[in-house]
Amino acid sequence: MSTDPTPEGRPYPPGRAWAEVDLGAVRHNVHAIKRRALGSRLMAVVKADAYGHGAPPVARAALAAGADTLAVASAKEGAELRSAGLDAPILVFTDLLPDAFALAERARLAVTAHSAESARRIAARPGLRAHLKVNTGMNRWGVAPEEVGEVRKILGEQLVGVYTHLASADSDADATRRQLDLFDRMLAAHDFGGVEAVHAANSAGALWHPRSRHDLVRPGVALYGLYPKGDEGDPSEEGLRPALSLKSYVASVRRLHSGEGVSYGLTFRAKEPTFAATVPIGYAEGYRRALSNRAEALIQGERRPLLGRVTMDACVFGVTGEVEIGDEVVLIGEQGSEKIRAEEVARWAGTINYEVTTGLNARRVERSYT
């Protein structure tokens, strides 16, 4: 067991913690989703910094693999993609504050009309193009079905798309059917001739609900090889490859005597002599405190239990005496024949895989791309 912080012959790790993003997996997932969508175009959802994967590199990879357009949550996110040199069509999903419409127009972003009021703001800027979002049951954003005609009239020739969002395509087929029935009735009741895109399918819709696909699907979580149910399932069953691995390294190793505790509150106490490896990743990096005494990591190809509480800057894993300073630690990803998926981390933390990856702090978790 080495205790030298810079063992001879060992390279320095790239940082305290880092994420490796496989852009080949992103391209693979675009192809896999398009095959399932049977000819529908694909809108790659790269909001929230591409779910924590890094928006510009992921967007480029998705477009190179055949994505037709991109989607973000805010005008600022869209403008950042333009600054990175991306010229593809970009849709802003959420409603905009008045000042953001000017940014959207300068950055050539399509925006979403969620109400008659937002439609009038869009109409005041003839250079904007808009998608009309219909509320079919999510009850978060969107125009009520009985107001669609009014909003359609306000937008006029600026309208290029119409869509809805499925609330439970990953869990409730009956509720999804009711939403799609309402959306179809709305489409039949109004003249949307000339719009470029009708869309309803999120990741779960694109994979599991053929009726939702229309002429465009907009995968988010599946684009990154994450399972749409959030805390269960194996992405490979849907032909998807996880794109992100989260790694750190062994920074110190010590031996705990029987009865000694670890970390704040000493919530873990050794029942027998135990080797403990300190790993410099904590909740400031986005490795959640809820994982305390629950999670595992891969060290030397084996699963190792997290001992005690996750702290702001570090956590501790139980290891063997053969573990050395500088050994790679895999928090999400594969090592040897073992793997830990984001879905498993989500279960340990009582959350979903979306939050696991989007919660990684880009200021403290460096991304690299392969």
Residues catalogued as catalytic: 47, 264
Strand-pairing partners, residue 366, are 18
Query: 14-30 burial string, b = 16+ CB within 10 Å, else e?
Result: ebbbbbbbbbebbbbbb
Dihedral sign from CA coordinates of 145, 209, 170, 231: negative
User: What distance in Å separates the CA atoms of residue 97 and residue 176, rounded to the nearest whole number?
Assistant: 30
Burial of 6 (0-12, 13-18, 19+ CB in 10 A): exposed
User: What distance in Å separates the CA atoms of residue 179 and residue 92, rounded to the nearest whole number?
Assistant: 22
User: What distance in Å separates the CA atoms of residue 161 and residue 311, rounded to the nearest whole number?
Assistant: 47
- SS3 of 100, please? helix
> The tokens of 310 are what?
């996750």
Nearest to 349 by CA among 359, 338, 363, 339: 359
> The tokens of 78 are what?
């869209």
> The tokens of 172 are what?
């409730």
Burial of 60 (0-12, 13-18, 19+ CB in 10 A): buried
- Which pairing describes strands 41-45 and 129-133: parallel, antiparallel, or unpaired? unpaired
Q: Do 256 and 273 meet the contact criterion of CB atoms below 8 Å apart? A: yes
User: What distance in Å separates the CA atoms of residue 134 and residue 214, rounded to the nearest whole number?
Assistant: 15
User: What distance in Å separates the CA atoms of residue 26 and residue 170, rounded to the nearest whole number?
Assistant: 21
Nearest to 165 by CA among 179, 175, 155: 179
Q: Do 224 and 254 meet the contact criterion of CB atoms below 8 Å apart? A: no
